[in-house]
Structures are given as C-alpha cells and as structure tokens.
Amino acid sequence: MSGGGCSIVWFRRDLRIEDNPALSAGVRAGAVVAVFIWAPEEEGQYYPGRVSRWWLKHSLAHLDSSLRNLGTHLITKRSTDTVFSLLEVVKSTGATQLFFNHLYDSLSLIRDHRAKEVLNAQGVTVRSFNADLLYEPWDVNDAHGRPFTTFAAFWERYLSMPYDPESPLLPPKRIIPGDVSRCPSDTLVFENEAEKASNALLARAWSPGWSNANKALTAFINGPLIEYSKNRRKADSATTSLLSPHLHFGELSVKKVFHLVRIKQVLWANEGNMAGEESVNLFLKSIGLREYSRYICFNHPYSHERPLLGHLKFFPWVVNEGYFKAWRQGRTGYPLVDAGMRELWATGWLHDRIRVVVSSFFVKVLQLPWRWGMKYFWDTLLDADLESDALGWQYISGTLPDGRELDRIDNPQFEGYKFDPNGEYVRRWLPELARLPTEWIHHPWNAPESVLQAAGIELGSNYPLPIVGIDAAKNRLQEALSEMWQLEAASRVAMENGTEEGLGDSSESVPAAFPQDMQIEETHEPVRNNPLPVSRRYQDQMVPSITSSFVRVEDEETTSDLRISAEESSRAEVPENVNTQQNAGVTLNERMLQTAHRSTHIHYNTTMELINVAEDSAVESSSGTRRERDGGLVPEWSPSASSYSEQLVGDENGITSSSSYLQRHPQSHQLLNWRQLPQTG
C-alpha cells in the first residue's frame, strides 16, 4: 500500500538476494523498487573492460530473474549522473526511502555521500549497510584507535575481533513490488558486436549470477579447498577458488564465505588435519587481502593513483610503449611471463601467482609505470577490481609499508621452474615453444642451437629473445633507485627551505599516466628513455578478441621488432575508450565522508577529514564534466584546482621516509596520509 511510500533498493556491486542487508531492509519496510543504474562514464578512466562488462550483464540478468521469482523485477537505468537518476526514480515511484550497501572506493564514497545529501534534501530517508566486508573499515583499529598500516597487524586484529562478523541473512521469501508504472527501465548495452563475438567463449568457463556463485563456493569448499595450500604454487588455476569475479560483483557474500570456511576449519582442526587447517588459513588470508584492499582504499582514497609511500613518486619510470606492448602481447622473451600474458589476453583470468610474476616483471625488469599495468589489469581481468588491483600493484611496486623490497628482482626463469616445473603451462599458452624440452622451456635463450632447431624455434624470429636481460635490469634498477633517492632527498631539502611545491608539483598525483595521456606526463616526471613522440595519443587498451588473438600474435612475431611504430600500435587492440572525461570536480570533505557511512562516533580518520572542499561542485556536477583537461591528467575526483596546492604541501609533509620502509614505525600513519594539512604534519 502506498501509505508509507515504497523503498528503493539500489543495487551496485551486491548483485545477490541472499545476505543482502539493503534488500532485506527494503523488504521489511514494505514495497520495494529494485534499481540498477549503469553510469560507466562516471568511472572516468576506469570504464569497465570488456570481460567485466560481460560478467555484469549476465549477473544482472540472473538477479532480475531471481527478483521476478520473488514478485518484482529489476529496474535498469542508463545514466551519466547516478544521483540524478536516483532522484528521477524517487520522483517517478513516490519512494520515501533508499537503501543501499556500502562501497569503499573513493569514487563511490563521494558519489554515495552526494546521493545521501541530495535525497535527504528531498525528504527521502537513506540508509546504507555493510554487505561487502566482514567488518567495516572504521571498526578495525590498533590500540590507539588508528588504522593499521600493515596487513599482518590488520589481519591479526581481524581474526581476534571481540565479536564475530554478522551472520549471513537469508534471502527474502517474497517481495512486494513498488509501483513502477511510471518508471520504465532503460535497455542497458554492455557490449558491442565485436565484443559479443569475443565474449562468446566466456560462457563455457564461467557462470555469472549469485546462485551460480553459491554453487562455485560449495564446490570449492568441498573440493579444492583442502589442497589449497599444497597447490597454490602451481601456475594452473584449477586449484584456486575461482570466486573472485563472483565476489567482485557481490554475487557472493564474504560473510557467508567466511562462515562456511570456518566450519570446515573447525572440522579439520578436530580431525587433526593439519594440511586442511593450513589451507583454510591461507584461503582466509586471501579473503583478508580483499578486505584489506577495501580498508586501504577507505583510509587512503588515492591508493589507485599514488604510491602509498612517497619515494616512488621520484622513481624514473621507463616510459617505453614498445616494452608495454611486448608485455601485453606476451612477447618479452621470458616464457612464464609470456604465457601468463597470453592467458590473460585470451581468457581474462590469471592465477594469483602468475599475476605476481607478470606484474613484478613489469615493474622491476621493464620498470614501466605501475599504474599502466594496473590499468591493463583493470581492462582485461574478468575479476577486475580496483581496490584489489591497487593493493596488488602497490605491493609489487614496493610502495606499501609491508611490501616487498624494491631492489629485489624475481627471475622468471627460476619462478618458471617453481610454478611450472614441467613446462605444461608454458606449452599451453606458447604453442611456438611446445616442442622445446623442459630443460630449456623456461630459458630458451640458453638452449643449444640444435635443440632450438629441432623444436622449430628461431629466437628473435618466432619467439623473441629476452627483451631485457636480468643482469641489465638489475643494474638499471640500481641506477633508477639511486636516482630516486637523490631526487627524494633534493625534494626534502627544497621543502625544508620553503621552496614549496617547486619539485613536488602535481607530479605526485601523476606518477605516470596511462599512455592515452602520456604527453602531459612527460613534463612532470623524471623520465628516461622515451623513444616515442610525446604527441601520440593512445587508445585505451583492452583485450583483443579471443579468436583473433593468436593469429595476431603470430602475425606480428614475424616482424619481431620490439620498437613498434606509432601507426602499428595505434591499430587499436580495441574500441576507443568511450569516455575520457573524468569526474574531475567531484569533491568531498570531512563532513561528507564522515556522514557517508556512519554516524557520529568516528573521529579517528585523518584521511578523510582532510580532503578538500569545493562547495560548488555538487551542484555543477549534474551538468557533466567540469574540469576536463584535454589530454587529460589522471582522473582526480577530489581536489579542486584551488585547493590543490594546499594538499600538496600536506602530501610532501606526509611522505618523508628516506631510508627503507618505515624504519620508524611510529610515524607510519603520517607517512601514509595523503591529505595531511601542513599544520597537522
């Protein structure tokens, strides 16, 4: 009945009906209008990649059919302004309440806060819930009430919290539909024709949708979980949980995963099954890393753009698109790396181990800017997840307080024999090496000519020689690091002399933009070896079609030249990035974020409270982009131009570690806070 008006349940990355607190709240309140708003342009540079959109499409269809079974359906809206669309839905349905579940990336924090403000102003009651994490980030603090800065400490605390994560909620039995007669759905288009063809094979391997996610969970817990510890060293993905895409879209409740896995843990502990227990601990730890990625994003909203430890801002990245392309196409000359990149290219999937291998190679050997790699992962992975990717790449790049050392280079040859001892993985993804004996499979450059001939391999022709030698890479890395420390020291001196932002400048927010906006880059960063004309514009990189990928690789291999001409590489692997405008002007402030999620009692957070205000932005933002910079800096949705320098000071202030990582740990919080204002540092 229309007495209280209906509730809108706003679905985002919580595409399930089970253990969905926002949905349950809506059902409890009466009639429900379930809404999904597709506004990818709001993601700016992080417009979802092809396979990710494929997943979303099917996940939504699945959700819609579940909702229909319960008595309603999903309203879908195509939008360029989510909040505006919400408002429209409110008006056309007469809704008086809005329920949604929390997200923790900075874009969502800002957008959701704005949604709350705008709808509240319209007299709509807005309530939001935790559906994505075991514990809310603001509930997990150290003894001093401050956020943790290392995973180990964070996870230890997590596992010893005084209260358990909430128990999963059951799905509603029935949903009373709200009146949507004046609120038609828009047809959402998630893929173009070319992409459709490329995506055709995905359905063979994956089944999006929340109930399929549950099946996958059950299968994993009753199967591979017990061997998880033993098998996690293999390149083969058959032993991983394969749950990450389900988790990304919230088809699966982490709380439920946690509960079920814990039950197994208790069981195996009682049986004295050590291997099983170890496996559970490891698996839970990987769940913990996902939690931690949200935690980091919440506490450090810029973590997908800026290194959390500031010295990396002075690292002289090798801006070499030829390297970048060779890496993407699996033509680096290191079989394990190349096999991984080909698998990613072809399937959108990569075992966690191999993700570490290829990204570490990217950063340490090729010394390409880590954000390019992160962006490529975002574009290509089926489970692309900004928070997790940012954490992973920062870890690899040595920019986390507990990350691995910067100057340690992992040798893909040795890792190859570790993770793929029989070369099966390499042979599967690098057919050109299929006939090479295992002895040489991970270092063909050492193989005798006769062996290569017998295997039909001509190095430099149908399989590349190593693009960079490991020894050369080590030397180059040492040079780069000493250059980095020098620049860092110089900058610190400049700061102390009050020469202020001369050195820091906006470069810190732009460690090196993705090639599409490279030309700006170059003025900011100490950059070496830039062989390409800076005027070139790059398309976004996404995955080429599965069917054509190998053909293309073979094609190009005959040319075997790593220095690819501009024309050649602009033969886009992909359609143009739909939108390069970014939500530059969206800003948030202390109040916004504090109220964004919680009520009053949160006072710890230095991070959020220091984000600058631009009062006008909320109003303007409904009209689209305000601060489009052609050529484009990286999307920065928070700082407004005017407040920019102010934060930089804060930044410089926060980032001081000169020697290695946070030797003086008491300072670690300061080191990690971007938004520190001058007087507080």
User: Using CB under 7 A, which of the segments 13-21, 492-500, 548-556, 655-663 binds DNA?
Assistant: 655-663
- 406 vs 596, which CB is nearer to DNA? 406
Give the whole-angstrom CA distance, residue 381 versus residue 389. Answer: 10
| Residue 37 burial by Cβ neighbours in a 10 Å radius (0-12, 13-18, 19+) | buried
Length of the chain: 681
What minimum distance in Å lies between the beta carbon of 546 and DNA? 27
The amino acid at 200 = A
Residue 385 assigned as binding residue = yes
Which amino acid belongs to residue 35? V
Q: Does the annotation list 286 as a binding residue?
A: no
- Does 334 belong to an annotated binding site? no
CB-wise, 150 or 185, nearer to DNA? 150
Place of tokens 């009062």: 615
- Compute the least distance from the CB of residue 316 to DNA, in Å: 21
Question: Which amino acid is present at 181?
Answer: S
**656 binds DNA per the rule CB under 7 A:** no
Tell the smallest beta-carbon distance from residue 289 to DNA (Å): 5
- Of 99-107, 219-227, 284-292, 311-319, which part binds DNA (CB under 7 A)? 284-292
CA distances from 464 to 432, 456, 557, 613 (A): 11, 13, 8, 52
3-class secondary structure for 331-378?
CCCCHHHHHHHHHHHHHCCCCHHHHHHHHHHHHHHCCCCHHHHHHHHH
- Min dist CB 150 to DNA, Å, is 6
Residue 402 within binding range of DNA, rule CB under 7 A: yes
Radius of gyration of the chain (CA): 25
Phi–psi pair at 55, nearest 5 degrees:
-60, -45
Stretch of residues binding DNA (CB under 7 A), selected from 210-218, 299-307, 325-333, 660-668: 660-668
Is 285 near DNA (CB under 7 A)? Answer: yes
403 binds DNA (CB under 7 A): yes
Restricted to residues 137-196, the positions that interact with DNA (CB under 7 A) are 150-152
Smallest distance, DNA to C-beta of residue 55, A: 23
Residue 439 or 561 with smaller CB distance to DNA: 439
Q: Does 347 count as an annotated binding residue?
A: no
Question: Measuring CA to CA, how many Å separate 610 from each of 126, 301, 483, 588, 672?
Answer: 25, 11, 31, 9, 13
**What does each C-alpha distance from 484 to 136, 321, 408, 429, 503 come to in angstroms?**
36, 22, 16, 37, 13
Annotated binding residue 243: yes
C-alpha span between 28 and 111 (Å, rounded): 26
Instruction: Write out the binding residues for DNA, residues 324-353 only, by CB under 7 A.
Output: 352
Q: Is the dihedral of CA 10, 13, 14, 15 positive or negative?
A: positive
* Residues of this chain, 375-394, that bind DNA according to CB under 7 A: 391-392
Is 384 annotated in a binding site? The answer is yes
**Is 654:495 a contact under the CB 8 Å cutoff?**
no
Residue 355 CB, shortest distance to DNA, in Å, is 8
643 is an annotated ligand-binding site residue: no
Which of the 8 DSSP states describes residue 97? E
Measured N-to-C along each axis, helices 352-360 and 370-380 cross at an angle, to the nearest 10 degrees, of 150
Min dist CB 232 to DNA, Å, is: 7
Task: Please pick, from the candidates 308, 318, 344, 356, the single residue that binds DNA as defined by CB under 7 A.
Answer: 356
Neighbouring residues of 535: CB distance < 8 A, sequence distance ≥ 6: 519
Among 289, 572, 602, 677, binds DNA (CB under 7 A): 289
CB 559 within 8 A of CB 605: no
The smaller minimum CB distance to DNA, of residues 276 and 392, is found at: 392
* Residue 241 assigned ligand-binding role: yes
The yes or no reply on residue 231 touching DNA (CB under 7 A) is no
Pick from 405, 561, 568, 576 the residue near DNA by CB under 7 A. 405
Residue 603 or 664 with smaller CB distance to DNA: 664
Of the pair 28, 408, the CB lying nearest DNA is at: 408
**37-45, 56-64, 395-403, 667-675 -> range binding DNA (CB under 7 A):** 395-403
Binding DNA (rule: CB under 7 A), the pick from 418, 474, 492, 528 is: 418
d(CA 540, CA 197): 19
What's the closest the beta carbon of residue 284 comes to DNA, in angstroms? Answer: 12
Angle CA 659–661–665, to nearest 5:
105
Given 408, 563, 591, 664, the residue binding DNA (CB under 7 A): 408
Instruction: Report the residue from 100, 292, 323, 463 that binds DNA according to the rule CB under 7 A.
Output: 292
Binding site for DNA (CB under 7 A): 150-152, 285, 289, 292, 352, 356, 391-392, 395, 400, 402-405, 408, 414, 418, 660-661, 663
Q: Per the annotation, where are the binding residues for FAD? A: 228, 240-244, 283, 383-385
